[in-house]
Chain A
Amino acid sequence: MRLADLFDFAWQVLRSSISRTLLILLAMGIGVAAVVVVTSLGEGARLYVANQFGSLGTNLIIVLPGRSETSGGMPGVLIGKTPRNLTLEDALALKRSHAIRRFAPLIIGAGDVRAGALSRETPVLGSTAELMDIRHMEMAQGSFLPPGDPRHSQPVCVIGAKVANELFGSRPALGEWVRIGDRRFRVIGILAAQGQSLGFNTDEIVIVPLAAAQALFNTESLFRILVEAKSREQIAAAKADVEEIVRLRHEGERDVTVITQDAVLATFDRILRALTLTVASIAAISLAVAGILIMNVMLIAVTQRRREIGLLKALGATGHQIQLAFFTEALLLALGGAVAGLAVGELGRSFAVQMYPAIPFQAPWWALAAAPATALLTAVLFTVAPARRAARLDPVQALSRR
């Protein structure tokens, strides 16, 4: 039997019992679509988190005061230890490492920012010129903090897009003076609107030189040091350097926590991948159910088409040919179901994108391949038994019954 004739024959069968065909297509389609949609959601969440981390900076290492290990059990006072602050001097010492490209010490506080009669409470960041490159910030107007010795400061500030809009409206903000606490700063730059990244909105901040922030909040201790390694490969070396430099400066105590962006990202990545896989396998169960449905329908078909199978045998069809006919039928059903499922899944995906444009919903390639493949495989697998039963049918008996 020629391949084209085989498909033609199966096609005739499917067309002649259209409601049965549509029902199986529906079941298969739902299974495939479920896998595609679920993996799209999971992959979208994973990419979203990855992007968020990416927007923080590349090859980023974050140094924060305090350590994460458990030790002692007794209060520091009793054993003569006091928690040490992370200071600007600690940060400047990092220049010694060859694995570090640049770093930016960071102080955060809340300040009352006033321009004329308008006043607004915003987070105030104290940092250096390097922050812009490390955090991939972009300027809408003007320039970022000027480079120079971080121990000394000029009375200048950079404001977020929303702050500029709120305080100055449509008036030009560049060159204007704002008052933060009891100090005056000239606005030298306005940040481009970037929106939220990991819970921190750069549109709503004011950035001042580090020394100014130290004076403003009357503190020596840093909130964070952001460190950028020279390359991805140097991250580990940079991290070790940071730990060693700070330990030496802190009298041998490991009292800072060093987080690499990679490690955090890798953890999120693992968790979200595992989640996606789990939910996808649950969705895949519906594919197995669809496969059982196909088997059921095929078994019924063997009974219903007894006479036809007997006739085909009388006309010279081999058992092999009869099996092939059934497999072709199941394969066409699975193929149709897979195509319909992929289409519906894509529809669901674009719907999700419409609802949450920020999240890059996208079915991973392995899901797009695995879902239809599973559909085809289960269809073929579950047709083995009915097809063999059909092939073994005794033509004399099959033909004798009316």
Chain B
Amino acid sequence: MIRLSGIARTFLVGGEEVHALRAVDLGIAHGEYLSIMGPSGSGKSTLLNIIGLLDRPDTGTYELDAKNVTALSDDELARVRREKIGFVFQFFHLVPRLTAAQNIELPMVLAGIDPAARRPRLARLLAEYGLEERAGHRPDQLSGGQCQRVAIARAMSMGPTVILADEPTGNLDRHTGQEVLGVLERVHHNGGTVVVVTHDPEIGARSQRRLRMLDGAVVADEKG
């Protein structure tokens, strides 16, 4: 489903070339639950951004759903992102002036889906992530866990091919973090593909496939 071959990405930091990724080959199958671990600066976030089409590799090819997306234009990438990728961020990134429901609805609004078609989908998402009573609240009236549930519901709203979560529990206490992880795992159990970037080995250990990165290269790929 996702096939990266020879992906490299170099940044120029203070006149010095930093190899964030060096020729990474990676395949992710449909329905996989994958964690990417490694120290900071190991390239795991860059890898996630490239999988999420937010960043472009300098070299290499990326196939998403058997389609080469390496050479797409910015607008085409935005459309693919909208249809196939769901993001969950460490700092939630909810729009502060919008209610929980409006935040969840946002990708559908951007996609130009008719309000009549949005309503039942929104109701289903609110119910599925236990947010019905919080639908009219703004992010500053929600707890961290609730915020992240809103973010996951938003990521799921377009029925994406893959959910990409960057340190989804990094800004939450242990208990809430477990709960949010549970929500992500439920997405996986329902057949979704989930990629989690974390530096917490305990969280990484819960996934069925664990990638370990160091200095821009995948150094370990364990399953089971």
Contact = CB atoms under 8 A, between A and B. Distances in A.
Contacts of A320: 75
A311 B78 contact: no
A313 B93 CA distance: 12
A315 B154 contact: yes
Nearest to A391: B74
Interface stretch (A1-9, A84-92, A380-388): A1-9
Contacts of B49: 396
B54 A314 contact: yes
A314 B81 contact: yes
A170 to B, nearest CB: 74
Contacts of A307: 93
Given A1-B112, A396-B49, A396-B54, A315 B106 contact: yes
Nearest to B158: A316
Which among A13, A15, A307, A316 has the highest number of chain B CB atoms within 10 Å?
A316
A9 B109 contact: yes
Interface residues of A, number: 27
A396 B83 contact: no
B81 A316 contact: yes
Contacts of A9: 109
A355 B81 CA distance: 64
A399 interface: yes
Interface in A1-38: 1-2, 4-5, 9, 12-13, 15-16
Interface residues of B, number: 31
A395 interface: yes
Contact of A395 (B54, B75, B95, B110): B54
A310 to B, nearest CB: 8
B128 interface: no
A315 B107 contact: yes
A316 B110 contact: yes
B33 interface: no
B200 interface: no
Given A311-B93, A316-B107, A12 B54 contact: no
Contacts of A5: 109, 112, 115
Interface string A306-330: 0110111111111111000000000
B98 interface: yes
Contact of B97 (A13, A311, A317): A13
Interface string B108-139: 01111011000000000000000000000000
B55 interface: yes
Contacts of A316: 78-79, 81-83, 85, 107, 110-111, 158
A206 B91 CA distance: 92
Interface string A282-320: 000000000000000000000000011011111111111
A16 B97 contact: yes
Contact of B78 (A313, A399, A402): A313
Given A318-B74, A319-B75, A12 B97 contact: yes
Contact of B75 (A310, A312, A318, A396): A318
B168 interface: no
Contact of B95 (A308, A313, A314, A402): A308
Contacts of B81: 313-316
B93 A317 contact: no
A109 B112 CA distance: 84
A399 B93 contact: yes
Contact of A1 (B89, B91, B110, B115): B110
B95 A317 contact: no
Contact of A315 (B55, B74, B82, B97): B82
B87 interface: yes
Nearest to A315: B107
Interface in B54-100: 54-55, 74-75, 78-79, 81-83, 85, 87, 89, 91, 93, 95-98
A312 B106 CA distance: 8
Given A312-B106, A315-B87, 14 more contacts: A1-B109, A2-B109, A2-B114, A2-B115, A5-B109, A5-B115, A310-B93, A311-B93, A313-B81, A316-B78, A319-B74, A321-B78, A399-B54, A399-B89
7 contacts: A1-B112, A13-B97, A315-B87, A317-B82, A318-B74, A395-B54, A396-B49
